Structure 1
Amino acid sequence: MPRPLWTGAISFGLVSIPIKVVSATEDHAIRFHQVHLEDMGRVRTRKICAIDDEVVPQEEIGKGYELTKDELVTVTDEELDEMPLPTAKAIEIVAFVDADSIDPIRISDSYYLAIDGQVAAKPYTLLRKALERSDKVAVAKFAWHNRERLGLLRVRDDAIVLHAMRWPDEIR
């Protein structure tokens, strides 16, 4: 089994099921490097400051949020880590809906949810069977990379799958 990408819990009501998230897909795309055709040297991407046209080393690069066209505010990793995300370590189920009510264009990456410890086996199986028998899927919120996301839980074979979803305003 692949290495877990995230650990947390599925939660709804008073139920909390410890889980591990593992990628459900593999990327087999061929990757190319850019090369200088004369001597086959790798061509690198350099980070250049737009103001002084100088190469900027990684340790001098931060994050900035654009308030207006001419005004940026810096944001540190520490500030992002301190932001309260209610779904920081939980996949919080917010609704159960019919599977055909979800537009497939909203579905993004897929991940298997595996139990994290034997204590999670029974409630995990109970949720999986309930989803299976009802022909429903669960709409959930979860936080990943300091950003709250929307997700869809559905059953595939003997596993619960989390599909990351796009928010409505991300669809053209």
Structure 2
Amino acid sequence: MPRSIWSGAISFGLVTIPVAVVPATEDHSVRFHQYHLEDMGRVRVRKYCEKEDREVPSEEIGKGYEVSRDQVVPVLDEELRELPLPTAKTIEIVAFVPAESIDPLRIGEGYYLQASGAVAAKPYALLRQALERTSKAAVAKFAWHGRERLGLLRVREEALVLHAMRWPDEIRDPGGLAPPEVRLSDDEITEAEHLIDRMTRDDLGGPDFADHYTEALAQVIEAKREGQAPPEVPEPEAGPGKVLDLMAALQESVARAKASRGEDTEAEVHELPRKKAAARTTARKAADTSAASGEKAAAKKAAKKASRRSTAKKTTRRPRTA
């Protein structure tokens, strides 16, 4: 586990939980330095003092705030650590919200919160289990790196995780980015739902979620180190021509998703959209009602004809004589 980068406490009502903040993620990116390509000499950025025209060592460098061109106020790291803020050494929980209600766009870097000492074990476990049972996340305020920040506390397995959050005014308005309004058929939406179903997974493991860029870059570096030519770019697989019809593209995508899972790629019967199915049911009922009405009308007409014949026979009979 990497070393702690901050220590303080979680303030949970009247409960205090001493914690240490530990990075929760790792960066495996390949790093490059700058070199002079003619002789491969290292190119460095040196820190010079403008007034003395000399290179300055790190221990002589500090922070300063420029009030004006002629006035700079020095600010020491010790002063930043002792800011008159309740959140300077405390992650102060200010609210609890449903975990799914937080816009992912507001969530930033994640850190593990490690209980500091035996005294923190019980309140730490209490907060973790309470968040887990209620499916809630805690919104907190804390001060890091020269500013007060919002944070999100959530549960990950047996640990508490703190995410830095962006303030509401740091999220740009997406207005004007959406395309003009378009009309979509029920069949197109239903087919898109089938594609989503085929591409749904329970985990994000496997070769589809590996960092192939870093792997390819490592191969290039290794080949050049051994004096060999870099690997050639593989030829892309031949695919069908550009599909202009949206429904055809969706159906082809569903077939490919099924094939990638080793499923049968024969055409499958999809359920009709609800509106169309309901319309067909209504039409069928109307047809049945019309047929029944026709049969009733024909029966009435036949009954009237029979009644007329019977009346005519009675009137043509001769009276009996004594």
Q: TM-score, normalised by structure 1?
A: 0.85
Q: Is the 8 A contact 1:11 1:93 kept in 2?
A: yes
Higher gyration radius (CA) = 2
Pairwise CA distance, 1:79: 3.9
Task: Provide the residue aligned with 1:97 in structure 2.
Answer: 97
Greater fraction strand: 1
Pairwise CA distance, 1:8: 1.4
Specify the SS of the correspondent of 2:42: coil
CA offset digits 1:79-106 (Å, max 9, x no partner):
4344312112211100001122211111
Pairwise CA distance, 1:67: 4.4
Does residue 74 of structure 1 match 2:66? no
Task: Provide the residue aligned with 1:42 in structure 2.
Answer: 42
CA offset digits 1:93-120 (Å, max 9, x no partner):
0000112221111111111112111221
Task: Provide the residue aligned with 1:9 in structure 2.
Answer: 9
Task: Provide the residue aligned with 2:154 in structure 1.
Answer: 154
Pairwise mapping of residues 1-172 of structure 1 onto structure 2 (< 5 A)?
1-47=1-47, 54=53, 56-58=55-57, 61-67=61-67, 70=69, 73-77=72-76, 78-172=78-172
Specify the SS of the correspondent of 2:4: coil
Q: Which has the higher contact order (CA 8 A, sep 6+)?
A: 1
Specify the SS of the correspondent of 2:30: coil
Distance 1:146 1:61 in 2: 17
Q: 1:96 to 1:71 in 2, by over 3 A?
A: farther
CA offset digits 1:19-69 (Å, max 9, x no partner):
1211110111111000001111111113456x779455246644333446x
Greater fraction helix: 2
Distance 1:15 1:167 in 2: 26
Seq. identity, %: 70
Q: Is the 8 A contact 1:46 1:55 kept in 2?
A: no
Q: Is the 8 A contact 1:64 1:72 kept in 2?
A: no
After superposing the two structures, state which structure 1 stretch, 143-152 or 74-83, moved more.
74-83
Unpaired stretches in structure 1, ≥5 consecutive residues: none
Q: Which letter maps to 1:164? A: A
Q: 1:56 to 1:114 in 2, by over 3 A?
A: same
Q: 1:13 to 1:133 in 2, by over 3 A?
A: same
Pairwise CA distance, 1:161: 0.5
Q: Is the 8 A contact 1:66 1:72 kept in 2?
A: yes
Q: 1:114 to 1:83 in 2, by over 3 A?
A: closer
Q: 1:79 to 1:9 in 2, by over 3 A?
A: closer
Q: Is the 8 A contact 1:10 1:91 kept in 2?
A: yes
Q: Which letter maps to 2:111? A: Y
- CA RMSD after TM alignment: 2.3
Q: Is the 8 A contact 1:62 1:74 kept in 2?
A: no
CA offset digits 1:139-161 (Å, max 9, x no partner):
00112234322110000111110
Pairwise CA distance, 1:127: 0.7
Distance 1:66 1:167 in 2: 25
Q: 1:2 to 1:81 in 2, by over 3 A?
A: closer
